[in-house]
Amino acid sequence: MTSDNRVAILGGQPLIAAPFPRWPIWDDREREALSATLDSGGWWDGDGERAARFASDFAAYHGAKHGLAMTNGTHTLETALAACDVGEGDEVIVPGITFVASAGAVLAVNATPVLVDVDPETLCLDAAAAEAAITERTRAIMVVHVAGAAADLDALTALCARRGLHLIEDCAHAHGTFWRGRGVGSWGSFGSFSMQSSKLMTAGEGGVLTCNDDRLRDLARSYANCGRVEGEWFYHHVRYGANLRMTEWQGAVLAVQLERFPEQNRRRNQNAVALGEALSRIEGIRPQFRDPRMNSQGNYCYVFHYDQAAFAGMDLRLFEKALGAEGVPMGVSYPSLNELEVFKRGDFGPRLRASAPKIDYASLRLPVAEHAARSTVWLQHRLLLGEPDQVLDVARAVKRVQDQAAAIVAAGG
């Protein structure tokens, strides 16, 4: 093998030479919006309307009646649970594959996260596993739309209606995901979106909580605004609440991000479908299942299943390193929640002490989630904003690594 055709990890040239689009994306429109906010002197939502208007427009884009602009996607989940009156002694079902904040929000309201397994193809909450985990203490099911792939909302909405449970949609990965013509975040009691730096729309931090129910919206707004009641005296506090409001600076940036988002979402979807078709032709590679009931997928990451047996036994981390060396922007899977130290040790303070969950998380096994964490490849979403042929180079890079897998394994990376 000559140096000209060696993979990059063995000293060759990367297959993908031109960089993919940067993230985040911004231009003079964000600068102008921030300058206008500065000049207005109204920098918090009590003196402005940018954050509130953005949240309303964002909710409408996803088909939800209400949108609340908040600090981040962790606080939106906490607020949703609080508005649903979930608290001490209650249980909330949470999937094993998700960021720790999904379960952390449950702990924040003194409730118990019940961790269940995921669907092996979508990596989203398995509806049958969720139903099997319901007890008399269950108050809500938190569904996470992993990498923008919608969980089975038909099955989960029916399950929650039948069992009298709240459905909380964690949509941190799923801006622009539509299920049977309706945006995620509009199906359950609440939808929670994150605007953190890596997300599909961002102001560095931020979050939006969506819902359709007027009463739940009022309770959520009160919780996020120091227990106030909209329209009442500023120092009239009727219940416990926290200060979880988005700033006008963030609202100004996100309003511009929303303007360009539909075209970005269209481009990501087009490229994701083409990439999936190309990857499916490579032995040992299986793209995350794209349910035909989804009209579009937000694609926070592009995820595929990896079988190391088809790559000369190359372990996942070495494969990720080799693919990254070819110029592919890499991410990494979350561990299964039950394998995080916080759950193994039960270190839930200072929120929970005497009322800490009694579940033996250290002995809990979630075989599908655990396997997925060790066998799925997560690519950064910015690559889906590249030119179509550049995106298809990702599949060519995977095949190139496969063709030289034995040499890579022999060299030890």
Domain-located, residue 205: yes
- Domain residues for the domain of 96 are 28-257
Residue 298 located in a structural domain: no
**Tens-place pLDDT, residues 233-254:** 889 999 999 999 999 999 999 9
**Chain-centroid distance, C-alpha 402:** 29
Confidence band for 1, pLDDT divided at 50, 70 and 90: very low
Partners of 306 in the β-ladder = 285
Rounded-to-integer distance, Cα 263 and Cα 255, Å = 15
pLDDT of residue 209: 98
What CATH number should be reported for the domain holding residue 193? Answer: 3.40.640.10
> What's the pLDDT at 2?
46
Q: In which band, very low, low, confident or very high, does the pLDDT at 413 lie, cut at 50, 70 and 90?
A: low
Contact residues for 128 (Cβ-Cβ < 8 A; gap 6+): none
Q: List active site positions.
A: 99, 170, 173, 196, 199, 228, 235, 245
Torsion (CA) 394, 144, 211, 53 in degrees, nearest 10 = -40
* Predicted local distance difference test score (pLDDT) of residue 321: 98
Q: Is residue 179 a contact partner of residue 297, using CB atoms and an 8 Å limit?
A: no
DSSP letter string, 128-140: HHHHHT--TTEEE
15, 393 in Cβ contact below 8 A?
Answer: yes
pLDDT in tens, 302-314: 999 999 999 999 9
Domain-embedded: residue 217? yes
What is the structure's pLDDT at 3?
53
Inside any domain, residue 314: no
Model pLDDT, residue 9: 97
Structurally, the chain folds into a number of domains equal to: 1
Return the bridge partners of 93, or none: 114, 141
